[in-house]
Amino acid sequence: LEKWPTALLQDLLPRHLQLICQINGRLMEDATKLYGEGPKAWNLSIIQEVPEKAVRMASLAVLACNKVNGVAAIHTEIVKKETFAEFSNYFRDQGFEDKFVNMTNGVTPRRWIHCANRPLSDLFSRHLGTQKWLTDLTLLKGLLAEKDDE
């Protein structure tokens, strides 16, 4: 996950770094009250100390946002159990059971093509002889017969 060196932030965005450090200070204070001094609290820090001091941008985003969306159920579980396990536990321990959620955005490739690029959608329908591909993406395999058509 992306990390920004604090030296770079200090040079380019010193006020932003100051605010990030204040946010991290409050987080560390709360985490220490909840877990005591030790790795369980320290692992939540937005600021990475080694090998170089840097801001963990994804951790900052997780802390600042209202919800973390895994999009699909399997992604949500990966985010909760692997990528942000410490934050998932921290928010759960604070009573925020719904911080990490699974919410599919509902946009399928066929719907996206149809809405975002209507001429391409019309071309698909013309070559396939039907619009049924809009509900069955596997029908797009029928376009393979047209791949050499100029």
Average pLDDT across the chain, whole number? 92
Model pLDDT, residue 117: 92
**Hey, which of 18-22, 67-71, 137-141 has the most confident mean pLDDT?**
18-22
> Do residues 48 and 31 touch, judged by C-beta distance below 8 A?
no
Q: How many CA within 13 A on the CB side of residue 12? A: 6
Global pTM exceeds 0.75: no
Place of tokens 């909760």: 80
- Backbone torsions φ then ψ of 127, nearest 5 degrees: -70, -30
* Short-list 131, 135, 45, CA closest to 86: 45
70 CB neighbour count, 10 Å cutoff: 19
pLDDT, one tens digit per residue, over 2-27 is 999 999 999 999 999 999 999 999 99
Q: Mean pLDDT throughout 70-80?
A: 88
